[in-house]
């Protein structure tokens, strides 16, 4: 199960990196510009699509991260490595009483 989620998580991370790099930055860095057009191919339509895609992919990335953390925590069981140090708990006797104070010794005040 965790391998499947890890593969999906990796694919989402790669897609998220690609969508972020395609977006047009304020300085014009790595963004893919592109002439004029109408509808989805316009600058406004592409920006809306990329923004929504980034939001969806980021949400999926966070969700798969949480799922992987839960799976890792559930799979981590405590186990005994060295059993030679374990002491058997067979004694159920009550603890011994303290010895009485020696006679003739004054108590400190």
CA distance 84 to 86: 6
Residue 19 located in a structural domain: yes
User: Could you tell me the pTM of the whole model?
Assistant: 0.55
Number of helices (H), then strands (E), in the chain = 2, 0
Residue 31 located in a structural domain: no
> 46 with 40: CB under 8 angstroms?
yes
Residue 67 located in a structural domain: yes
Residue 94 located in a structural domain: no
Residues of the chain with pLDDT under 70: 25-46, 80, 85-96, 98-102, 104-109
Residue 71 located in a structural domain: yes
Residue 65 is part of which domain span?
2-24+40-77
Residue 90 located in a structural domain: no
Total domains present in the chain = 1
Query: What's residue 83's pLDDT?
Result: 75
Query: What's residue 12's pLDDT?
Result: 97
Contacts for 64 with CB less than 8 Å, ≥ 6 apart = 5, 8, 9, 12
Query: What's residue 1's pLDDT?
Result: 85
Residue 109 located in a structural domain: no
Query: What's residue 36's pLDDT?
Result: 47
Residue 98 located in a structural domain: no
């Amino acid at each position: 199960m965790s391998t499947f989620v890890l593969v999906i998580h990796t694919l989402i991370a790669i897609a998220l990196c690609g969508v972020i790099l395609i977006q047009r930055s304020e300085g014009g860095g790595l963004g893919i510009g592109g002439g004029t057009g109408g509808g989805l191919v316009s600058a406004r339509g592409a920006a809306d699509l990329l923004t929504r895609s980034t939001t969806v992919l980021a949400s999926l990335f966070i969700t798969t991260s949480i799922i992987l953390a839960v799976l890792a925590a559930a799979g981590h069981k405590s186990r005994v490595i060295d059993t030679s140090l374990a002491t058997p708990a067979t004694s159920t006797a009550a603890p011994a009483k303290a010895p009485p104070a020696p006679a003739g010794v004054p108590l400190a005040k």
